[in-house]
Amino acid sequence: MSSDKQLKRTELLLDGETLTIEQLSAAARNLKSKVSFSQSARERMQLSRDWVDTVQQKGEPIVYGINTGFGSKATVSINKERLRELQRNLIVSHSAGAGDPLPIDVVRAAMILRANTFAKGFSGIRLKVADRLLEMLEKGVTPWIPAQGSLGASGDLAPLSHMALVLSRGIDTDPTDFSGKAYHYNNKSKEWQLTSGKSAMAAAGIPRTILEAKEGLALNNGTQISTALLALAISDAKRLIKLADIAMAMTLEGLEGISAAFLPEIHNLRAHPGQIDSAANIRNLIAGSQLLDRRPMKVQDAYSLRCHPQVMAGIRDTLAHIENVLVREMNSTNDNPIIIPEFDAVNKAISGGNFHAQPVAFAADFLSIVLCEIGNISERRIFRMSDKNLNGGLPSFLISDPGLESGLMIAQYTAASLVSENKALVHPASVDSIPSCENQEDHVSMAPIAARKARSILENVEKILAIEFLYAAQALDFRYNMAQQIDDISPADFFGKGSYAAYSAIRQQIPFLDKDRPVYKDMARMRAILVDEEFLAGVENAVGKLR
């Protein structure tokens, strides 16, 4: 989440059709976001609700989830006098998550996504309830949602029920321990405070709602947790691939590599868009460097250098596919049943399987695969810089007195450990399934597991890249110090434009490693630099917008 001092008031209008990953990420991470429904969305929502109200009042026709039980109990009819009780029982009983809580930005993203599905007008929820969800976003109430417990079919039932537990209340009694838990943002202390859902809503001045027919199911039946996890991961991954190109450019210079491998004439002959873009980035970043092409006897670099654009081709092009899947899912109706007011039948509720998150599950597993490869190839470059037999005359472990001092030796071990951990995490969750609900729900997607694994891998890759940046900056320092013994030249004139911008930003916060010190602090500081948008912005100010 962004620092409160940096936030600006933004507005997001939900119409159920046009939400983008960039808009979602910005609104989820900006506490000053104002999210509202378009007028056309409000009109559509009212139409589907009007029909649900009629069913609730008449008690007919028999409609799944409105006046029947849930899952395998769909054949159990519920008296119209008990429909409120049915919805409350659904939320209370389905709040069965486990494990550590989801990050606040993920939960906020899920709330926005659920509201965007409401905006399409097929969920049968009252405007009052949908507006209350958006009010929670605006006033800083974020439900505490355990990360584990969803199968990714019948929607993300358990986690979304924890969200609804905070928003809703009992019919006659409202015990605090039936309100779940929630974070409330304290505008004075600028901190999130975890309390009961009841207390958080009261602190924000938001009344909790007694749910009417269909509304519990409208709140907890959808793919929003899986989609939110993946959408924010994709948002971060799109930044990460640019950082990978920057790290590669710095490493190429630190190892006195060959620039010809990045000429457009080569990459245009293969024509993968991601490959062309990555090669173009490298050319821009190394422009003006005096460290390249200095060894006439060396005609080729190792694959981890020379083939970086080709590897990034698969990564970038797969990310484009994942984004397409996500944007469709973000702007879809994924409830059950779906209320279609214009449907030419007495029963305008259609039961289907739009809650099944298999497309999201596959996309999340694809993301895990490509993120793994960013870490894999980065670690190979780290190793190359570490080894005196491979790094072109630099000292072992990039320390001036190797043997007495170990320098960055163990940082490479850490990178190798993270790479190996990622390989264990990358096993696809989407190929697994286990039946539930008396075998009514006999095939599930495991999308939230896939998405959580992708986020874990992304965080590991950020740590790996941080280590490569530390190595590359250290290598550049050694090259520059060697050059200074021959010619008086500034780093700005010695390094490539982009490499110098990145190097300068790093050295403003992390000094040259002249003697052994606890490296974990440098690694943590470097990762913090990478996730700060100012680092990438500074490099792009120097070389132009990276692709």
Choice among 64, 185, 471, 503 that is catalytic: 64
| Distance from C-alpha of 104 to C-alpha of 358, rounded to nearest angstrom | 25
* Phi (first) and psi of residue 121, to 5 degrees: 95, 20
Is the separation of the CB atoms in 213 and 55 below 8 Å? yes
Distances (CA, A) of 402 to 284, 397, 399, 412: 34, 7, 6, 15
Cα–Cα nearest to 407, from 395, 391, 389, 393: 395
| Distance from C-alpha of 397 to C-alpha of 463, rounded to nearest angstrom | 18
Burial string for 184-208 (b: 16+ CB within 10 Å, else e) reads bbeeeeeebeebbbbbbbbbbebeb
The alpha helices in 63-122, defined as continuous H runs, are: 83-94, 104-119
Distances (CA, A) of 6 to 2, 9, 126, 527, 534: 7, 10, 35, 20, 12
Distances (CA, A) of 250 to 137, 203, 244, 408, 476: 41, 50, 10, 17, 8
* Phi (first) and psi of residue 226, to 5 degrees: -60, -45
Catalytic, 303? Answer no
Is the separation of the CB atoms in 34 and 61 below 8 Å? no
- Vertex 198 angle, CA 193 and 201, to 5°: 65
The alpha helices in 339-432, defined as continuous H runs, are: 358-386, 409-425
- Residue 151: CB partners within 8 Å, gap ≥ 6? 157, 434, 436, 441, 444, 445, 446, 448
- Residues annotated as catalytic are 64
